[in-house]
Each structure stands twice: as structure tokens, then as C-alpha cells.
Amino acid sequence: MVLIPAGDFVMGRQSGRGFSDELPIHPNPISAFYLDQFEVTKALWDDVYTYATNNSYGFGNAGSGQGAFHPVHTVNWFDVVKWCNARSEKEGLTPVYYTDAGFTTVFNTGVPDPFANGFRLPTEAEWEKAAHGTLVGNTYPWGNSITGADANYSGSGDPFGSELPDTTPVGFYDGEQWAAYSIDRANGYGLYDMSGNVYEWCWDWYDGGYYAVSPSTDPRGPASGILGVSWGGSWFSISSCLRCAFRNFLNPVFVNNSFGFRSARGLQLFPLPL
């Protein structure tokens, strides 16, 4: 995992065209946290999934992938939250997600434990800060323009497109994939595939007007909702959906082959909304 340092961060679309739910821009100091350097691979998913199913976990979807080092896909929000709990237990950490306010029944939804040190999904604010990397106001994790040599999206021309879903191995866009290019497409924090490959589930409930009332520090999303959020675009997306500020929203039980995730761990521990 990569340490994303604490610091000031301006959330929302700072330039160019987009959607109304990306505004208004607003300052949000974010506490330090850890984030997976790569999207969760099918190999890592399978390792934890095997542990989980051997220890009383049940999943709606078993997860799929084009290869061991491609991102896992075909997992919904509830699947990945359960998986985060199982990963925590497997690594000897305290799970985050519980079904009861007393933090006694580990599961995939319910009241998160404010004292947990385990794996969870990043909040929208954490994800967007991480995507921008060390740049300020950038449209994409590496700058303000995009070509097929930068990320995996619809029409990008990656060499894995002969079979669907058209994912690439995580970290494939590392500057060596095309002979004519030598720019490392990790962002300033060393994170790969923050744009493209698969959408990444985040913690928050979706609210199109939330940015207007967002807390000034460490926003965690609305206290309740119906739709979940995912960020980053996918192999199936047009390039504008790969912008750092683009918010995608849908039912958390939705599942298809363009949705995956990466997990986070907090340093400042706090309860998250349902």
C-alpha cells in the first residue's frame, strides 16, 4: 500500500467541462491514509476469497478476471466490503464493517467500528485526492490530456483488446508498454490505474448536491442513500469518464465486468456512515 499524506486538497472539477455534481469545488483537508498501489488483482482476490469462504463468509459473486494480474471484476459493493473484512482478519487486523452497533458481528454492511485498523473502501474525497497525486487542478492523474498510451479506456488501443472484458494487467501503463513512450504513468503518489481499466467502488452513498454541504475536513458522504459511487472510469468508458473529478453512481448490488476496486486503511480512525 502507498501512504497518502495528510494535507489540503480542493475537491471537485477545477477546470474544463463536466457535470453539475462535480461542483462546487471546495477545500477539504484530508487525514493521512493508506491506499493499494494497484487495483485488487484476481490473484489477490482469490487468495482472500478462499480464506473468506473457509471462514463463514458468503458472497453474491465469486469475482472474475482476465488473468491473475488483471484486476478482479464482476463484484458488487457488498462483495468487496466483505472481502475487505476477510482481508483484515486474514492479516490479523480488526475488521471495519459490522452488522450491529455494538461491533460484535463482522459482516458486509452495518455500523463501521471507529477503532478498527483493518481494510475498507476509500471515501470519495480520499479517492479523488489520491487520484490527483502531487499535482494541483489536473484533469487526469498525470496531467490535463489523455491518449491511448496513458490509460485503458474505450478505443485506447491496448494490446489486450482481442477478448472481452478488455482489461490490462494492473500497472501495465508504466511507461514501457509502447516503444515510443518513456513517461511513467504512475501518478505523483506512485499509484497506477487511477484512471481506466476498471471502475473502483468507494465507500460513500451518492448525493448530487453533497459538495455544497460537504464538511470542511475528511468528508465521509451522506449518512444514508440508495446509490453507491465508483470512480476512475474503465476499459469500457469514454475518456472523459476517466477524469479525476468524475463521479459514477449506481445501485450497490450492480455488478458487471467493468467494476473492481482497491482498498484503503486509515491512520486517523473514524466511524463511516452507512
Least confident of 105-114, 130-139, 143-152, 173-182: 105-114
DSSP state of 111: P
59-71 CB burial, b ≥16 within 10 A, e <16: beeebbbbeebbb
Q: Give the residue-averaged pLDDT of 104-123.
A: 71
Architecture per CATH, 2-138+191-266: Alpha-Beta Complex (3.90)
- Pick the more confident residue, 112 or 198: 198
pLDDT exceeds cutoff 60 at 272:
no
Alpha helices in the chain (DSSP H): 42-53, 77-90, 124-132
Question: What gap in Å lies between CA 53 and CA 231, rounded to an integer?
Answer: 28
Contacts of 12 (CB under 8 A, 6+ apart): 22, 23, 24, 25, 26, 211, 245
Cell of 116: 478498527
DSSP state of 158: -
pTM of the model: 0.92
What's the pLDDT score for residue 273? Answer: 39
Of 121-125, 156-160, 161-165, the poorest mean pLDDT is in 161-165
Exposure string for 188-210, b = 16+ CB within 10 A, e = fewer: ebebbbbbbbbbbbbbbbbbeeb
Taking each helix axis from N to C end, the angle separating 42-53 and 77-90, rounded to the nearest 10 degrees, works out to 80
pLDDT > 80? residue 182 = no
